Structure 1
Amino acid sequence: MSFAELHRTGKPLLLPNAWDYASAAVLVAEGFAAIGTTSLGVAAAAGLPDGTGATKDETVALARRLTRLPCYVTVDIEGGFSDDPGEVAALGAELAALGVAGVNIEDGRDGGRLAEPAHQQRLIAALKDAAPGLFVNARTDTHWLGTGDDPVARVRAYRDAGADGVFVPGLTDETTIAAVVAAVDVPVNVLAGPPLRRLAELGVRRVSCGSLLFRAALEAVVRTVDAIAAGGAIPPVPSYADVQALSSPGTAAAPRSPGSPAAQR
């Protein structure tokens, strides 16, 4: 089953987002057939700010590592790390050559503003021209940034530019979700939150975890060290051998079948 076909199984593709090789490998071992990256996790792990175009090198390096895993990889490239369509196209071609299945490109810009729709269309079209097989998920931050812009108009514009899917993070209202789904004939992506069964009924085809898993990992770090300091019980964690095995080809390359329930969650 291709990455695009994973969006058309009759239920939403649950896409967990990783920030390094180990976090991706443990998700593959859990049976997920596709893994995304989280730009916040990648940026924070490198001591850099998210959403400012500062992590292009880290993002490409991570993509190179993750494509060693037996799963589809889709990479968050923020706003494309450039406003130059040629540079964005070159990045798309580089990622595709590494074996990346898709990218997520957003119209949010630093300072809480949105890119002009026509300019964002040029970036999307450049990606598709440079790497036709790359699944381009076009994200609009109308709700994320609270700008008041119409998400329907933007997802239609991005679909018309060649986007294979559209993404409206921060969208939880069922009426608006249904309106976005009805507006385009490509898969609609939202963030995890509402029950998956209800999102499926609304026609959502992809549910991303975004930075949730990274933030949960940080919470686990604090909770564990606090338990040690307080003399309490340490929560269960993977063993040294478990983590070491994630980098062993024989282990990391043997997740559950992509057709299993776990991989399609």
Structure 2
Amino acid sequence: MGESASGSEAEPRTHFGYQSVAESEKAAKVAEVFHSVAARYDLMNDLMSAGIHRLWKRLTIELSAVRPGQRVLDIAGGTGDLARQFALRVGAEGEVVLADINASMLEMGRSKLLDAGVAGNLRFVQADAEQLPFSDNCFDCVSIAFGLRNVTHKEKALESMLRVLKPGGRLLVLEFSKPRHALLGKLYDAYSFRILPKLGQLVAGDEDSYRYLAESIRMHPPQEALKAMMQTAGFARVSFHNMTGGIVALHRGIKP
């Protein structure tokens, strides 16, 4: 019994927002959040960002340099905003794989894109970013938008993304980051912790999930730290572009 107790105490821990949880518990807790918010996810994105998230995603698409005939993997693709635009860019000869670990989000994305009539060159795969179920060197571009901060082992996920990219392929990480100015940071904190959870309760009937989302942003590595993580994972020519004063950053890296 002594060995069993010791083993339990030694289980690695990680953060779930500001909470400390066992690593084995985080994925299920994150899944609960996104099962809860899936139905109102698009509406809440528009309300939370006043529609600016569309501009962030548009710039991501532009900087991806995706061309007709290429293969793209969109991880944590949610309801398909990026996947739809990638599908239009790669055309009938290309392919876009929308991957998400959460079944509710994946189903929302599938339904939305099928209804829009743009799913002819799209494939939908439920997948864990840390263990991508794809062969080596098979994608020209990999993207992950507002998903990396929810991954338990970010380093492992980045290595998995590098593996599935072709040499010369590009990774794009669009994620909330650290505001570059103190005053903006204070205003952003006030909005995130006072207004956002109440908005989540009013629109989605879920205050706790949106409080977690605000906390998870603060626990995510800031710009330079994420850049270093990508370099450690093996990416070359890593750079980042701040948007909206650093509230969001787009990181890019190339597979050597």
Shared topology, TM-score over 0.5?
A: no
TM-score, normalised on structure 2? 0.32
